[in-house]
Amino acid sequence: MRGIFIAFEGIDGSGITTHSKLLKDRLRSRKLDAIYTKEPSKEAIGTLIYELLMGFYPSLQRNEIYALLFAADRFHHLYIKLPGQPIHPEQGERGLRGVLHYVRDGSIVIMDRYKYSSIAYQTTSKEAAHGINLGDAGEDFVEAVNMYAPPPHILVYLDVDPETAYGRIRSRRGLQMFESAEDLERVKARFNDIILGRLMNTPEYCPGDNKPWLKKLRELVGVSAAELYPGGICYPVVIHVKETPEGKELEEELVSDAIYGAVLVAASEIGYRVDGAILREAEELYKQHDDIVKISIHRR
């Protein structure tokens, strides 16, 4: 049975790591094969990105360079190697499997950040360490270098007030780039443009569309788009989570319930087989929390 690719997005401090891990744990508790993974990865390119985000290598501090590095790490993550996956000596690199291989084989893969973060962050100008201006990579450029990154089946957007997010960041660790209240405000506006303004109204992919990543799916994963993306639905299905309605921070458990319910309801809508009792539980949770979570599905 085909799996599902779920991506979590939101500004830093919005809770995407917390809630993507909670969703993974909850799905596993229902005996579903759920895998959590994160961007940037902990592989070689991702490690360089983390060092850059900490302010190392000032000469590399440009949004164009960030966009290219994130896209390279993402390609490796999607098509070549899920972080932590062992390389079997007898198989060598032929035995490697990326995110899309696991989805092909039936896993629910939960991605903590995806390409929409690249668009939001790398097209928001920011002054980095040592007073270097990162510049604006331009949306056309960022989208072009991510042409082989297909949409997730489900995109969960955690819509959090920037002041709340900034307070969370300051309380848990030192600040990295893009983590002043003003920067978060600008990035939040970009996320709203991309997800609420665009994707909720005009999905990225409908079955039958011609996209560059279709060839890579066949070449590197061995599946067609029709096998991975069921017809009749356009992708991504967007789940909009208002985690701080009217500026009020909600309890973590309540938000987790809302996300879990909405994800399984959306998964069922796009053809993922959900056990009847589990689906009824999810539908009830979704109804209980419809004031903070909405599913946007476009049918073709």
- pLDDT tens-digit readout, 215-238: 999 999 999 999 999 989 999 999
pLDDT of residue 246: 72
H or E element: which one contains 297? none
Confidence of residue 132 (pLDDT cuts 50, 70, 90): low
Of 126 and 104, the one with more pLDDT: 104
Percent over 70 (pLDDT), the chain? 92
Cα separation of 263 and 245, whole Å? 20
4-296 CATH fold? Rossmann fold (3.40.50)
Which of 206, 217, 199 shows the shortest CA–CA distance to 75?
A: 217
The sign of the torsion formed by the CA atoms of 47, 52, 55, 58 equals positive
Q: Does residue 152 carry a pLDDT above 80?
A: yes
Confidence of residue 48 (pLDDT cuts 50, 70, 90): very high
The sign of the torsion formed by the CA atoms of 101, 4, 258, 203 equals positive
Of 246 and 8, the one with more pLDDT: 8
Say if pTM beats, i.e. exceeds, 0.85. yes
Q: Does residue 62 carry a pLDDT above 70?
A: yes
Helix and strand element counts for the chain (H, E)? 12, 6
Q: Does residue 175 carry a pLDDT above 60?
A: no
pLDDT of residue 167: 87
User: DSSP code of 194?
Assistant: I
- For the chain, domain boundaries: 4-296
The CA distances from residue 152 to 7, 97, 128, 234, 292, in Å, are 6, 17, 31, 11, 22
